[in-house]
Amino acid sequence: MPECHSILGASSAHRWCKCTASVLFTKDMPAETSEHAEEGTRAHELCEYKLKTCLQLPVDELSFTPDKEMNEHAYNYALYVMQFVKANSIVKIEQRVDYSSFIGAEGFGTADCLIINEDHIHVIDFKYGMGVKVDAENNFQMMLYALGAYAYALIHCEHVESIKSVKMSIFQPRIGNISEWDIPLLDLQVIAERIFRPRAQEALSANARFAAGEWCRWCKGRAVCRARSEQFAEIVEDFSKKLPPDLSDEEILEVLRKADDFASWLKDVKEFALTCAVNGKKWDGFKISSRATRKFVGSDESIAQALQGTGVEPYVITKKIRTITELEKDLGKKKFTEVLGQFVEKVNGKESLVPIKEK
């Protein structure tokens, strides 16, 4: 299940705690999605299904057919969770939790799994991504889920006064990462007062501040944010003030340290400009370009049979048909079209924004 959205959502807490101005800056920007995000949503749906099955709870029919890898990871997630479930545990799956009372502003999110036992709360989060290893310790998202879980316990649990600690777990199976962290409940409440509450209130005020950093990668406004661009402009401006014709080792190191972030920013700006162009915006001197590619349709056997008598070998070393480019070079364009044209299909390539060449 996708997380219900809050502008002070738990999943974006790392960003809004570091860059408080990003909250209102991105408030009305459309939600983003990607193939990886959609894959993660399907994996979470399967995890919910597997865990409910283990707990012998009613389940909804899956909206997709999972592959072997996802099935295995979701099953292992369910086994991991089940080892912490006791006879008297309260288990909540894909549970909306509200931590507004701890941050002084509306804030909520959807926790993958909550286990409320007699003396502690356990919050478990499933991560299907492989790009970044996620740690449970001092994880803002997990701490907010934990605060929301405690708020839930205050309403629904008779033994809430016996809850003294919180355990947080990140289960990230595709990179073999299981990260766990325990913290006393009182310490978590202190963090809420010292960090979450002041940052949340600042984010909704006129005193909110922009701050660029690694958290920008998850911000909807990353392509148009001036604060993010200024960190790169400062390097160029600083270099322009120096007289020697060549960059010093220190200056090159400064560029190297920023290179990946700079490349990421350029990519974000280009993708933003392309999206605008696709939606009708005109960028002076640029146009949308899409280069078509060709691919074979039909079986390798039928293509090989069509090539019989031409003197052209259809296969590479293994029983795999040669590429279109290779076969066209050997046959010639005209002969290639006569023999294999029926097996070739043009596919539109990925769109890009390119300069308009002057004639």
- Per-residue pLDDT reduced to its tens digit, 311-325: 888 887 667 888 899
Spatial separation of the C-alpha atoms in residues 104 and 120, rounded to whole Å: 24
Give me 229's structure tokens: 């661009």
- Give dist(CA 163, CA 165) in Å, integer: 6
The pLDDT value given to residue 153: 96
pLDDT digit string (tens) for 27-40? 999 888 888 899 99
**pLDDT of res. 168:** 98
Same domain assignment for residues 118 and 241: no
CA angle 58, 52, 62 (to 5 degrees): 75
Domain annotation covers residue 5: no
Regions of the chain short of the pLDDT cut 50: 1-3
Kindly state whether residue 212 falls inside one of the protein's structural domains: no
pLDDT of res. 3: 46
pLDDT given for residue 318 in this prediction: 67
Q: What is the pLDDT of residues 137-164, one digit of tens each?
A: 999 999 999 999 999 999 999 889 999 9
Closest CA to 235 of 220, 215, 250, 218: 250
23 in any annotated domain: yes
**Residue 175's domain is classified under what CATH number?**
3.90.320
Kindly report the number of other CB atoms within 10 A of residue 335's CB atom: 14
Domains contained in the chain, number: 3
What predicted TM-score, i.e. pTM, was given to this entire model?
A: 0.78
110 Rama sector, left if φ>0, alpha if ψ -120 to 50, beta otherwise: beta
The backbone torsions φ and ψ at residue 277, rounded to the nearest 5 degrees and listed phi first, read -65, -40
Report the sign of the C-alpha dihedral through residues 90, 92, 97, 102, in that order. Answer: positive
Long-range contact list for 206-210, CB < 8 A, 24+ apart? 208/20, 208/21, 208/23, 208/24, 209/19, 209/20, 209/21, 210/19, 210/21, 210/22, 210/25
Asked whether residue 185 falls in the same domain as residue 328, the answer is no
Q: Of the residues 203, 233, 255, which one is the last residue of a structural domain?
A: 203
| Same structural domain, 34 and 147 | yes
Q: What is the pLDDT of residue 234?
A: 77
| Residue 298 domain flag | yes
Domain finish residue from 141, 168, 203: 203
Domain that holds residue 229: 223-281
Tell me which residue of 77, 76, 106, 71 sits closest to 93, measured CA to CA.
77
- Report pLDDT for 198: 98
Q: What is the pLDDT of residue 2?
A: 43
Contact, 232 vs 265, CB < 8 A? yes
Within a domain: residue 3? Answer: no
Contact 175, 133 (CB under 8 A): yes
- In a domain, residue 211? The reply is no
Same domain, 261 and 302: no
Q: Clarify whether residues 85 and 122 are in a common domain.
A: yes
Verify that 133 and 180 share a domain, yes or no.
yes
Question: Are 21 and 168 in the same domain?
Answer: yes
For residues 172 and 106, membership in a common domain is answered with yes
293/194 same-domain check: no
Q: Single out the residue in 281, 307, 328 at which a domain terminates.
A: 281
Measured CA to CA, the distance from residue 267 to residue 283 in angstroms comes to 17
State which amino acid sits at residue 59.
V
How many residues appear in the chain? 359
